Structure 1
């Protein structure tokens, strides 16, 4: 087996990755800029793979090794005091409950949160293709509350003594006493410089936690966040999640088999899924026979089946809306809904618009929100919607992959090829002329930045929009423009049409639990007077009543200067931000006039 002596590094930002160097050359790259290194070590085969794949290890499934295991304690939205206490609790667990001596781990302030580094000699993880899964399962069993993303196959973390530009503080090592008995203010003071003079001592491990290593990797292992189709047959998904229950295992199995058969899943795939669900409860041969029996008989179980009804959920696309009692909720019902909402992880399903504008105000899009963008002709409404779809950070002038969510873009005014060219322009920060000339070689470079968007250009009805959402399961839908959505012949007049569309989209956002952004023109009077307020949209009254958030975009076609105005923000704040249009269709935050 080849020695794993290479690490991947990224300079300035994790996006600028793809450089593999011998691990012993890492110190040569400490030159005052942010620096990141890979969690895992690689051999020569990974170097060859990266050379042949545009310096990317995304699809490298070969052997990985590990030298240090990092525990990432992210600050997230917590206070600095809480984050330190969380770190102290894990250090206490390591040192006192797991009997790991102080010379077998090191604590760092990461520039915002904390890192705890443990040498592999404590665990003795062996090089393997499945090492990332083994490490993740082991660490998450020991510390369920930590951030697991660093353990993914391509995980990176900040190198010590380099700066975190978001906070202006360095990642610095801490002594045991500084962490356990110091205050966060003192630690932040230490991190104002790189602390390169820290008196390091070699970390020494002797297999102290080797017994905690999970060697068996589940065949359906999960490495990152997965956007599950939770709105389709939620009853069946609930049955699968809770596993076999004594007294109903066979009946539950047949209902899941029926669901798989009706949705075109081959019996072999159904057997694999049911065996994983079974988890050794029923005899495997019996499970296989039951699956084949269900496929041969072709049983179908509907919403009125007693077992299906037991696990029914209003969020399911098959839920019978004729049961209006669902709208009558007791205080206990609402308390449960509130608890569910406040404890739900909206990662990959929400969009922090204020953060992307560089504001500390409260303005995020959540599932269930209808967001309206309106403005006069030439104010760059479509450009703003496109920037949001691509996760463009107007303040830092970069595409934020973490902000991107699966999006269905209904471009009812612009052709698909035109929208794609704009996507390439925004992603690569290039003008039209450059993209038109270099589109072939440009697309592979930015493919990962644009592939989360599906575009439809045929004007649909509200019913067709809902069917497409059910099919594609996006987290966000952009309708550009709502004036072009088809309405029934019985809905006449501009106001009634806008009302029909806006309220239909609002109900769709709530019932399907997704974000919907609708783009609209302003009324002629407002356009002529060059004034923008909450009531400027076409069909005034219909739009602002149906929308949770209303965003006005003011500016003229002959000027690059625009202003984003948050005119309505249910459960949030109102504010304005100036932006500047660029030839790459990026709306960069601007300070003109300030």
Structure 2
């Protein structure tokens, strides 16, 4: 049996290397002081030649799952909290009849890995879709244990790699080590960390085995349409259409629903035959609430909608539901509905929608700016617009890179990569290749001449930081509002968009002040509807630039920037060219930190806070 192995941050250097299981332990010992990962799936020896000629993204012939992984990430959980999750799993294993010989338990350097022997499940070997079988097993097993929300689900992907035993975790500088069940229950987190300062190669393993203890969780039949990973459902694109499709044919509304859905597909350019096929599948959704139509009725209604060119707008009562139950305040068309009908928004409907929104999760999914500065609560939350004001050459772009790449400016460390956000960075001043080069300096924390000492060394650093660099995607030039709207409504939308600078984005406007005002209003509407965070970088007005006095009203087009932004920061130079002053000017939802921070800009581009 073969395993895929890789080295480096994100296990990306390089992908596609296969090692036989008999050679794996020696390879781990030889490379354990680096970050190294291995596949959870095994491959047949006879497939090595085929795999070596195929990119990893196209590997579809996973043959074995020797160990079923449970990856418990630490994330924002305390050391005690993550260890308590491990203990819950072990209690559940007792209830399931598992013995310590049925699984391996590891401290991974931050979190924990539990590896259950594959023979406990009896997964089919060389199955045409082993990944789907494993994912469905995971959903059933962990769902029954009510533990789905405490594990990393990405580890079950066919291309996923897991940290190798006895190898270093660069985030904690501790090794992934085996521990016993007894140690998990009796040792404190700090005592386990003390053990993880070495590789623990002399661990006394029991003889592991499995005998179908969990075979009942392995599916015997697979769904016709597979689901491998979570996707972003388009419930904000056209809420009334989405909700109709999800609920299925309901007696009393199924005829009008079929006409409305048919008209929607027709307006999107979907051929009538495909609409018939799709709606026949929708009509066959059978549960306690649905009542399907006759097949002939579906076909006739689709043809009627296409033949007569029906068009149901947002002000149509039938389209949004008699009581507005199919409508959503988060729909991108919701404001059009109100303008079209001159009706007042329904507060009960808004409260109903608000109950469904996890604002705590939205906050966690933002960017914790305050933590990077070492000050009290100041975070970029999903759907917010944040502005950064500064004079020319104050270091605005450099500060944005420090924030987006997770530099902790109060202790010169980097945030865990899972706390970074997918970002589009629009700039008309710095080409994308130079953007990455300067970001590379900052991440490696060295000056440019250190990186350019040889082309090979420079390439190795790009490989080292590839995963973190890729979190921010620089885009040459500046977008229009229509471009931003399309990007933010797409399935693959970014979590953050930076526009550097806003006055350049409206350079074509006849009146700069009005151009900025219109642009800011458009940005705020997009942010609210899609949940994307916008960072807008702005030059200050000429008078304030000369005087060096930056306040909330210093941005170009002032009046628009402070009105539409939920939070405002500023950066300006000091008498010492290497020292910049950052100030928090506004926070709509909370008092702003009163700290005026002095930041020292190193030769690498990292900012470090000067504590007096």
**TM-score calculated relative to the size of structure 1:** 0.79
Matched, 1:177 2:182: yes
Which of 20, 23, 30 is matched with 2:21 structurally?
23
Matched, 1:342 2:359: yes
Asked if the contact 2:121/2:215 (under 8 Å) is kept, the reply is yes
Aligned equivalents of 1:68 and 1:85: distance in 2?
A: 23
Asked if the contact 2:119/2:210 (under 8 Å) is kept, the reply is yes
The two structures, once aligned, show a CA RMSD in angstroms of 4.4
Matched, 1:258 2:263: yes
Aligned equivalents of 1:569 and 1:236: distance in 2?
A: 37
Asked if the contact 1:46/1:57 (under 8 Å) is kept, the reply is no
Question: CA offset at residue 580 of structure 1?
Answer: 3.8
User: Using a 3 Å threshold, how does the CA distance of structure 1 residues 522 and 186 change in structure 2: closer, same or farther?
Assistant: same
SS in structure 2 at match of 1:143: helix
173-182 or 370-379, larger mean C-alpha shift: 173-182
Pairing 1:95-494 to 2, within 5 Å after superposition: 95-96=94-95, 98-125=96-123, 126-144=125-143, 145=148, 146-180=151-185, 183-184=188-189, 186-245=191-250, 248-249=253-254, 251-267=256-272, 270=275, 273-274=278-279, 277-278=282-283, 281=286, 282=292, 289=299, 293=303, 296-297=306-307, 298-303=309-314, 304-309=316-321, 310-319=325-334, 320-322=337-339, 329=347, 334=351, 337=354, 340-342=357-359, 344=361, 350-353=366-369, 357=372, 362-385=377-400, 391=405, 400=417, 403-405=420-422, 407=424, 409-411=425-427, 413-414=428-429, 419-425=431-437, 453=473, 455=475, 457=477, 460=480, 466=485, 469-470=488-489, 474-486=494-506, 494=513
Aligned equivalents of 1:107 and 1:539: distance in 2?
A: 59
- 2:542 corresponds in structure 1 to 524
Matched, 1:543 2:561: yes
Asked if the contact 1:379/1:556 (under 8 Å) is kept, the reply is no
Aligned equivalents of 1:133 and 1:287: distance in 2?
A: 36
- 2:289 corresponds in structure 1 to none
Asked if the contact 1:258/1:294 (under 8 Å) is kept, the reply is no
- 1:509 corresponds in structure 2 to 527
CA deviation map 1:419-472 (0-9, x unaligned): 3333553576697998xx99xx99x98799659858474674x57754665578
Aligned equivalents of 1:449 and 1:279: distance in 2?
A: 47
In structure 1, stretches of 5+ residues that fail to align are none
User: Using a 3 Å threshold, how does the CA distance of structure 1 residues 156 and 470 change in structure 2: closer, same or farther?
Assistant: closer
Question: CA offset at residue 49 of structure 1?
Answer: 6.3
Aligned equivalents of 2:63 and 2:270: distance in 1?
A: 34
- 2:572 corresponds in structure 1 to 554
- 1:9 corresponds in structure 2 to 6
Aligned equivalents of 2:392 and 2:188: distance in 1?
A: 54
User: Using a 3 Å threshold, how does the CA distance of structure 1 residues 256 and 533 change in structure 2: closer, same or farther?
Assistant: same
Pairing 1:568-579 to 2, within 5 Å after superposition: 568-570=586-588, 574=593, 576=597, 578=599
Question: CA offset at residue 138 of structure 1?
Answer: 1.0
Aligned equivalents of 1:406 and 1:265: distance in 2?
A: 32
Question: CA offset at residue 254 of structure 1?
Answer: 4.0
CA deviation map 1:136-159 (0-9, x unaligned): 121122113232111012212222
Asked if the contact 1:253/1:274 (under 8 Å) is kept, the reply is yes
Question: CA offset at residue 269 of structure 1?
Answer: 5.2
Aligned equivalents of 1:353 and 1:222: distance in 2?
A: 35
CA deviation map 1:21-79 (0-9, x unaligned): 223333322333333222112345775566556xx623322334221111122232233
Aligned equivalents of 1:219 and 1:258: distance in 2?
A: 28
Asked if the contact 1:459/1:484 (under 8 Å) is kept, the reply is no
CA deviation map 1:526-559 (0-9, x unaligned): 3224454545433555433432222323348995
Aligned equivalents of 1:427 and 1:291: distance in 2?
A: 57
User: Using a 3 Å threshold, how does the CA distance of structure 1 residues 504 and 251 change in structure 2: closer, same or farther?
Assistant: closer
Aligned equivalents of 2:583 and 2:576: distance in 1?
A: 19
Question: CA offset at residue 132 of structure 1?
Answer: 1.7
Aligned equivalents of 1:525 and 1:114: distance in 2?
A: 57
Aligned equivalents of 1:48 and 1:354: distance in 2?
A: 51
Asked if the contact 2:488/2:532 (under 8 Å) is kept, the reply is no
- 1:88 corresponds in structure 2 to 87
284-293 or 222-231, larger mean C-alpha shift: 284-293
Question: CA offset at residue 261 of structure 1?
Answer: 2.5
- 2:69 corresponds in structure 1 to 70
Asked if the contact 2:176/2:199 (under 8 Å) is kept, the reply is yes
SS in structure 1 at match of 2:332: coil
Aligned equivalents of 1:381 and 1:49: distance in 2?
A: 50
Aligned equivalents of 2:338 and 2:507: distance in 1?
A: 22
277-286 or 145-154, larger mean C-alpha shift: 277-286
Question: CA offset at residue 520 of structure 1?
Answer: 0.6
83-92 or 321-330, larger mean C-alpha shift: 321-330
- 2:40 corresponds in structure 1 to 39
SS in structure 2 at match of 1:89: helix
Question: CA offset at residue 118 of structure 1?
Answer: 0.5
Aligned equivalents of 1:193 and 1:84: distance in 2?
A: 20
270-279 or 446-455, larger mean C-alpha shift: 446-455
Asked if the contact 1:379/1:553 (under 8 Å) is kept, the reply is yes
